[in-house]
Amino acid sequence: TTFLSSRLSHLRTQLHLILEKSFCSMAVIGAPFSQGQKRKGVEYGPAAIREAGVMKRLSNLGCGLKDFGDLSFTPVPKEDLYNNLIANRRSVGLTNQERSEVVSRAVSGGYSCVTVAGDHSLAIGTISGHARHCPDLIWVNTHADINAPLTTSSGCLHGQPVSFLLRELQDKVPQLPGFSWIKPCISSPSLVYIGLKEMDPPEHFILKNYDIQYFSIRDIDRLGIQKVMEQTFNLLIGKRQRPSHLSFDIDVFDPTLAPATGTPVVGGLSMCITEEIHNTELLSALDLVEVNPQLAASDEEAKATAGLAVDVIASIFGTREGGHNVYDQLPTPSSPHESENEEHVRI
Ligand SMILES: [Mn+2]
Per-residue pLDDT tens for 142-175?
999 999 999 999 999 999 999 999 999 999 999 9
Given a contact cutoff of 8 angstroms between Cβ atoms, the answer to whether 41 and 294 are in contact is yes
Is the predicted pLDDT of residue 117 greater than 50, yes or no?
yes
Q: Cα(156) to centroid of ligand 1, in Å?
A: 12
pLDDT on residue 8: 78
For residue 249, the CA-to-ligand 1 centroid distance in Å is: 5
Domains in the chain, start-ordered, CATH in brackets? 25-321 (3.40.800.10)
pLDDT for residue 316 is more than 70? yes
Average model confidence (pLDDT) across the chain: 89
Of 163, 191, 112, 158, which Cα lies nearest the Cα of 261? 158
Q: Report every protein residue that has its C-beta within 5 angstroms of ion ligand 1.
A: 141-143, 249, 251
Question: What is the value of pTM for the model shown?
Answer: 0.86
263 and 155 Cβ atoms separated by less than 8 Å? no
Cα-to-centroid distance, 141 and ligand 1 (Å):
5
Residue 324 pLDDT > 90: no
Taking alpha carbons only, the member of 129, 115, 118 closest to residue 181 is 129
Q: What is the pLDDT of residue 193?
A: 98
Burial-class residue 193 by CB neighbours within 10 Å (0-12, 13-18, 19+): buried
CA of 165 to the centre of ligand 1 (A): 17
Please tell me the least confidently modeled range out of 22-26, 126-130, 222-226, 270-274: 22-26
C-alpha 142 to ligand 1 mean position (Å):
5
HSE-CB at 202 with a 13 A cutoff on CA atoms is 15
**CA separation for the pair 241, 254 (Å, rounded):** 32
The residue that leads in pLDDT, 332 or 23, is 332
**pLDDT value at residue 323:** 47
